[in-house]
């Protein structure tokens, strides 16, 4: 059974047109993360939520925002996508913020920007 579900799997948007990516989880984990992964590169953490507390990475562009309306769902909003934002976006969850935690990943949403 899928535990971290990302929709859609593929998303095409136009340059500058806002887009929202969705993530849901059935694990009841407190923490949800968003990563950006460009082709053949390591995932790069954009931000995470611990419950309702939002934590932005220092180098995450302002163009990227996130919402977590409840425990199960988290959204990634890209306000004005540029060509450089084309990437795989990974959602992950963990029980809490301690280092021993395993992160559980979704299958990702591949975003194309035309």
- Least separation in angstroms between residue 44's CB and another protein is 8
Instruction: Compare residues 73 and 104 and give the one whose CB is closer to another protein.
Output: 104
Question: How near is the Cβ of 105 to another protein at its closest, in Å?
Answer: 4
Q: Which residues bind another protein (CB under 8 A)?
A: 4, 31, 40-43, 45, 48, 90, 92, 94, 96-103, 105-108
Give 12 or 97: the residue with its C-beta nearer to another protein. 97
Q: How far is the CB of 106 from another protein (least distance, A)?
A: 6
Q: What is the DSSP string of the chain?
A: --SEEEE-SEEEE-TT--EEEEEEESS--SEEEEEEE-TTS--EEEEEEETTEEEE-TT--TTEEEE-SSSSEEEEEESS--GGG-EEEEEEEESSSSTTPPPEE---EEEEE-
Closer by beta carbon to another protein, 2 or else 79: 2
């Amino acid at each position: 059974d899928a535990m971290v579900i990302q929709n859609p799997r593929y998303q095409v948007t136009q340059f500058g047109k806002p887009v929202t990516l969705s993530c849901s989880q059935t694990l009841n984990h407190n923490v949800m993360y968003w990563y950006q992964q460009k082709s053949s590169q390591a995932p790069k953490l954009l931000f995470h939520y611990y419950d309702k507390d939002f934590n932005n990475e220092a180098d995450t562009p302002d163009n990227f925002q996130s919402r977590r309306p409840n425990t199960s769902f988290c959204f990634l909003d890209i306000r004005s996508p540029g060509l450089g934002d084309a990437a795989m976006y990974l959602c992950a969850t963990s029980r809490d913020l301690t280092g021993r935690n395993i992160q559980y990943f979704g299958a990702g949403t591949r975003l194309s920007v035309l």
